[in-house]
Amino acid sequence: MDETQPRRGGRPRSERAREAVLNAVDDLLVEEGYAAMTMKGIAERAGVGRQTVYRWWSTKAEILWEASVIDARDELAVPVSGDQVKDLNAYLVALVAFLTRSPAGAAYRALLGEAQHDTEVAALIATQDVLGDSARRVLDAHGRADAKATALLVGPAVYWTLIGKDPKSLPRAAIVDAVTAYLAAKPGSRRTQ
Amino acid sequence: MDETQPRRGGRPRSERAREAVLNAVDDLLVEEGYAAMTMKGIAERAGVGRQTVYRWWSTKAEILWEASVIDARDELAVPVSGDQVKDLNAYLVALVAFLTRSPAGAAYRALLGEAQHDTEVAALIATQDVLGDSARRVLDAHGRADAKATALLVGPAVYWTLIGKDPKSLPRAAIVDAVTAYLAAKPGSRRTQ
Amino acid sequence: MDETQPRRGGRPRSERAREAVLNAVDDLLVEEGYAAMTMKGIAERAGVGRQTVYRWWSTKAEILWEASVIDARDELAVPVSGDQVKDLNAYLVALVAFLTRSPAGAAYRALLGEAQHDTEVAALIATQDVLGDSARRVLDAHGRADAKATALLVGPAVYWTLIGKDPKSLPRAAIVDAVTAYLAAKPGSRRTQ
Amino acid sequence: MDETQPRRGGRPRSERAREAVLNAVDDLLVEEGYAAMTMKGIAERAGVGRQTVYRWWSTKAEILWEASVIDARDELAVPVSGDQVKDLNAYLVALVAFLTRSPAGAAYRALLGEAQHDTEVAALIATQDVLGDSARRVLDAHGRADAKATALLVGPAVYWTLIGKDPKSLPRAAIVDAVTAYLAAKPGSRRTQ
DNA sequence: TAGTAATCGAGACGGTACGTCTTGTCTTGGA
DNA sequence: TCCAAGACAAGACGTACCGTCTCGATTACTA
């Protein structure tokens, strides 16, 4: 039913192999880092043939995306209290924690970096704006969120992190003020109604 | 006098070789892109021995930094008119143009990406906040610039660019408003005096 | 049955690659000489990956041994007539021709030389006394051959060749006399019975 | 007067440098072996510029020849007692000791090996038949020595050594017999008169 | 229940970049 | 003019990984 190919016979894909690869990537990212990860290393760590890896994923970026970055949704989902300033601050804290301390965040940063000189990776991360979407969920509770508002909220934190500045000194208050002002000024926002 | 090392004998470093390498990196970045650049390729393109490259630079990131990123200063230096809104808008236009169209900008993005999984590159780009410094020069004309203000100004534009969104739809007005509001509210800023 | 290794999986060794390497070494030895032969050159000439060469042979000496020295057996196999003096003379002629004119002889001399400052090559050529064995086959027809007799027969010719003296002036008669005398005096030799 | 060149001025050749190079080669031969010796290593060990080495010697073989092989003469000079069998045996003992235990012997074997695939080295060692000359000095005391007699005497021992056989089992008696017989049969030898 | 077909782990294949090493030459300042 | 130092262009070293290609073995569906 959900099979795109007619499946006319042959051994089915091994779920065991798929999970072993994803776990291997998770482990290797933490233990060795993105740069030291190789397709060869992933296959060996997973106890899987190299062809099996290539059969289902083209690049290590693709595996990493499947293995780690989807998890990002959970880590970036913050509860909404109704207090806008409090909620935006809480989101910024979660965002910075994700980017600087979480393995999934490390994976996201690596992929974001790779995308700058690899169009295939760029296309991959363009399929889903992981950070923007998480921001939108918070903003939606306090006004009509749009891409512009998410950029005001997420952009400074991402930049601060990427250039390696101390997360603790991130100007959260100024960011929250900017977003609040934008939402307030925005025609059609719930607040202004 | 200006010699850091005492020059204790031996053939001096060839300026010709140094320039050939830097030019080769510039050319290769445009022609082949960052990922396809190799130390071997750089040496061959420059007509230089590989050892000579390794003698003066450890990695291709280091060469690229020397070759391209200094040029970034020029490209990001925008004239200041005195009209704050106009100046900030002009800066954002220049910044986005740099990041999306300039070879030096491509180099910067590649290095920023590499820094996410290579601590040596991270240390390299941390030596000089190219984007922040350029922003500070504009902001200084309109208030006491600090890192927070630069983050508000530069962050959204960088994020917008890195995730591959259309530069033309960057919410410049909202960003300028946010920065303006921050500068106005800031105690000790010239404006408020 | 004839498999030494159990063949635990994986693509089997390519016979095509093996032969291409051995042929390349043969050709390069004649065309360029031993000193100019490199592992890189062998691989390229054979149209084979470098790793493939290293996978099956450690050094160029090892390849050369497999490629050429086995052929030496054929070139040093002289027919036995029954006339001892005639046979020993014929053998010496063949031996000198091998050492001075045959590619396999050039290979043998190169390996013998390399063995003087490379213990691995020394171990390699010690596995089979190519010259001694060929001499023994002739001597066996005329008495109980031993290593001493072969040294008397082969040694002077080898020395004469290695120091580059004219092969034509090799004192064959004196050598044959010495070997004949040794065999005659030897207790238990067939001749003396 | 003994200067072949007119010596038109300039700094004279440094005897200090020459000796330092020769000593360095001696040391390196013992410590590292012939194969690990490099022109670079020699120069550094000698505390001498590399150009200085190249100015006076073309190859490491040439330096080695000057450094070590002349010493061979001393080591191969055995006293003559008048007893032919005893003298020839003593010479063979000295010869084998030289080839298997002396640094100068190691150098000689290395050069002899190199000569098999390097015509310049071949020409070098052809300028002086170190082994033959030493043998001739012994043989001259017991008959009219010629190249043939030296080949009978030296050849088996050299061959025995080069292929790595145990020096103790060298058939000295058989060799001595062969040489004695050759000298006795030789027309014009002193013995037969 | 035999045949067919796609999967699996293993590992060799031709390529190619890595960073290091040595080669023989060149270029300094000093003796 | 030589010397020590050391940079230069060139290119081989042995290793690592790339993505592909065989192997024999396994595992489903189909006839």
Q: How far is the CA of C175 from the C1' of F19 (A)?
A: 62
Q: Please report, as a single letter, which amino acid is at residue D125.
A: I
Q: Closest Cα partner for C157 from C110, C78, C100?
A: C100
Cross-chain residue pair C112–D110, CB shorter than 8 Å = no
Look up residue A3 and give its two tokens: 């099979």
Per-residue pLDDT band for B5 (boundaries 50, 70, 90) equals low
D96: contact with C, CB 8 A cutoff: no
Residues 6+ apart with CB under 8 A from D3: none
Query: Exposed e or buried b for every residue in C131-160, given b needs 16+ CB within 10 A?
Result: bbebbbbbbeebbebbbbbbbbbbbbbbbb
Q: Which residue of D has its CA nearest to C103?
A: D117
DSSP helix/strand/coil, B20: helix
CB-nearest partner of D116 from C110, C129, C169: C110
User: What is the tens place of the pLDDT at every residue in B99-111?
Assistant: 999 999 999 999 9
Give me the DSSP letters along D63-82: HHIIIIIHHHHHHT-----S
CA of C10 to C1' of E4 (A): 23
The SS3 assignment for D117 reads: coil
The Å distance, CA of A53 to C1' of E9, is 12
Judge residue B83's burial from the number of C-beta atoms within 10 Å of its C-beta, 0-12 exposed, 13-18 middle, 19 or more buried: exposed
Tell me if chain A has a CB within 8 Å of the CB of B94.
no
D106 class by beta-carbon count within 10 Å (0-12 exposed, 13-18 middle, 19+ buried): buried
Contacts of C8 (CB under 8 A, 6+ apart): none
Torsion of CA A162, A42, B106, B115, to 10 degrees: 30
Per-residue pLDDT reduced to its tens digit, B6-60: 567 889 999 999 999 999 999 999 999 999 999 999 999 999 999 999 999 999 9
| B35 touching A (Cβ < 8 Å) | yes
CA distance D134 to chain C (A): 15
What is the reported pLDDT for A7? 59
- Tell me the residue length of chain C: 193
Cβ–Cβ under 8 Å, residues B95 and B154:
yes
Please give the helix or strand (H or E) that residue D17 lies within, else none: helix D15-31
Asked if residue C35 lies in contact with residue D122, where contact means CB atoms within 8 angstroms, the answer is no
Beta-carbon separation of C164 and D122 below 8 A: yes
Please count the residue pairs, one from chain A and one from chain B, whose beta carbons lie less than 8 angstroms apart. Answer: 137
CA distance A182 to chain B (A): 7
pLDDT in tens, C49-96: 999 999 999 999 999 999 988 889 999 999 999 899 999 999 999 999
Indicate the pTM of the whole model. Answer: 0.90
Question: Percent of chain B, pLDDT > 90?
Answer: 82
Nearest to B171 among A151, A157, A175 (CB): A151
pLDDT at B145 (0 to 100): 86
The stretches in chain D having pLDDT less than 50 are 1-4, 191-193
Take residue D79 and report the two structure tokens written for it. 């006293």
A18-54 burial: b if 16+ Cβ within 10 Å, else e: bebbbebbbebbeeeebeebeeeebbebbebeeebbe
User: Which residue is listed with tokens 């991270």?
Assistant: B122
In chain A, what residues touch B161 (CB-CB under 8 Å)?
none
Tell me which nucleotides of strand E come within 7 A of a protein CB.
Answer: 3-31
Residue C115 in contact with partner chain D when CB distance is under 8 A:
yes
Q: What residues of D are in contact with residue C170 (Cβ under 8 Å)?
A: 151
CA distance C2 to chain D (A): 32
Q: How many CB atoms lie within 10 A of CB D192?
A: 12
The one-digit pLDDT tens for each residue of chain A (193 residues) are 344 455 567 899 999 999 999 999 999 999 999 999 999 999 999 999 999 999 999 999 999 999 998 889 999 999 999 899 999 999 999 999 999 999 999 999 999 999 999 999 999 999 999 999 999 999 999 987 899 999 999 999 999 999 999 999 999 999 999 999 999 987 665 543 3
Q: Which among D25, D116, D189 is the top mutation candidate for probing chain C, defined by the most C β-carbons within 10 Å of its own β-carbon? A: D116
Q: What is the 3-state secondary structure (H, E, C) of chain A?
A: CCCCCCCCCCCCCCHHHHHHHHHHHHHHHHHCCCCCCCHHHHHHHHCCCHHHHHHHCCCHHHHHHHHCHHHHHHHCCCCCCCCHHHHHHHHHHHHHHHHHHCHHHHHHHHHHHHHCCCHHHHHHHHCCCHHHHHHHHHHHHHCCCCHHHHHHHHHHHHHHHHCCCCHHHCCHHHHHHHHHHHHHHCCCCCCCC
Residue C6's pLDDT band (cuts 50, 70, 90): low
Measured CA to CA in angstroms, residue A115 lies from A60, B109, B115, B116, C65 at distances of 13, 9, 13, 12, 51
Q: How far is CA D54 from the centre of its chain?
A: 23
CB contacts, 8 Å: D158 with chain C: 155, 158-159, 162
Query: Is there a contact between D23 and D46 (Cβ–Cβ < 8 Å)?
Result: yes
Closest residue in C to D174 (Cα) is C182
Model confidence at C193: pLDDT above 50? no
Asked whether the predicted pLDDT for residue B152 surpasses 70, the reply is yes
